[in-house]
Amino acid sequence: LDRSTREIELGLEYGTPSMNLAGQSLKFENGHWVSESGSFLGDRRELQRLRKRNQQLEEENNLLRLKVDILLDMLSETTAESHLMEKELEELKQHSRRKK
């Protein structure tokens, strides 16, 4: 029997499921457990604060990754220029030795 038929025929009224967990009274409504006492508001605020902080840290992390990529590009460019200068210097040294 479905719930409405049981209630009509047998007079059974179960109400919404509820439980007490760690001193918190919870009831099951619309597919979610909801606090009966409203004391989860502090937890909700804490959750919102943590989500906001997480978002800030993700943005900071992305910025730092971008900075590291830029620094690596700069290092690669400087290293390549240094190798070219060393090669030119060697060529100039060899050229000056030949003239002597």
pLDDT digits (tens, 9 = 90+) for 24-49: 777 877 777 777 765 555 567 777 88
Strands 24-29 and 32-35: antiparallel
- CA 18, CA 32: separation in Å to the nearest integer? 11
**Residue 50 has what pLDDT?**
87
pLDDT digits (tens, 9 = 90+) for 40-82: 555 677 778 889 999 999 999 999 999 999 999 999 999 999 9
pTM: 0.50
